[in-house]
């Protein structure tokens, strides 16, 4: 296998060929992450090796994408200030600022 000889594993990209139309970076908390047009926010995070971006309300346990199709709500994230967005469904857009979500995402409203 030629990839193996070059010392590199196959990638999803090798499988489907081509190159992304556009790449830019997305702000995630204080980091800049490389993003490609057409990826969901969850896909951008997974590409960067980030699997958790939320903590739960009861035990502050880390969570990220689980079902990948919008039914588990484990991947909730705050996008441009709007909390409780499902990262697996929301397409990443240039200029997005994604922030980790704690608890219900409405901590600012707590009294």
Partner 1 sequence: MTTSPSDLAVVGAGPAGLAAAVAAAGLGLSVILLDAGERPGGQYYRHPAPGLGATRPEALHHGWSAFASREAALRAHVSAGRITYLPHHHVWTVTPDSGESPGWTLHAVAGPDEDPATVRARAVLLATGAYERQLPFPGWTLPGVVGAGGAQAMLKGGLVLPGSRVVVAGSGPLLLAVAGSLAAAGARVPAVVEAAAYTGYAAHAPALLRNPGKLVEGATYGGALVRHGVRLLTRHAVTEAHGTDRVEAVTVARLDRDWRPVPGTARRIPCDAVAVGHGLVPQLELATGLGCATRPSPDATVALEVDAGQRTSVPGVWSAGETGGIGGAQLALVEGEIAAHSVAGRPVPARLARTRTRLRAFAAAMAGAHRPGPGWTGWLREDTDVCRCEEVPAGRIREAVEDLGARDARTVKLLTRAGMGWCQGRMCGPAVAALAGTDPAPDRRPLSCPVPLRHLAALPAEPPAALSPELP
Binding site for partner 1 (CB under 8 A): 9-22, 36-40, 42-43, 46-47, 51-52, 56-59, 61-74, 76, 84, 88, 90-91
Q: Which does 12 bind (CB under 5 to 8 A by kind): ligand FES, partner 1, ligand FAD, none?
A: partner 1
Is 70 among the residues that bind ligand FES (CB under 6 A)? Answer: yes
Neighbours of 91 (CB within 10 A): 13
Residue closer to partner 1, measured from CB, 32 or 73: 73
Tell me the residue ranges of DSSP E strands in 1-111.
23-28, 31-36, 54-55, 62-63, 76-79, 82-86, 97-99, 101-102
Cα 63 from chain centroid (whole Å): 12
* Residue span binding ligand FES (CB under 6 A) among the ranges 20-28, 51-59, 68-76, 96-104: 68-76
């Amino acid at each position: 296998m030629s990839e193996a000889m070059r010392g590199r594993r196959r990638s999803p990209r090798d499988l489907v060929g081509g190159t992304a139309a556009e790449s830019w970076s997305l702000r995630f908390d204080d980091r800049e992450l490389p993003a490609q047009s057409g990826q969901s926010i969850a896909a951008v995070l997974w590409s960067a090796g980030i699997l958790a971006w939320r903590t739960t309300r009861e035990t502050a346990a880390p969570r990220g994408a689980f079902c990948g199709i919008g039914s588990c709500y484990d991947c909730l994230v705050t996008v441009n200030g709007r909390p409780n967005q499902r990262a697996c469904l929301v397409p990443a857009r240039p200029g997005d600022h994604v922030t980790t979500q704690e608890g219900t995402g409405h901590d600012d409203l707590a009294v």
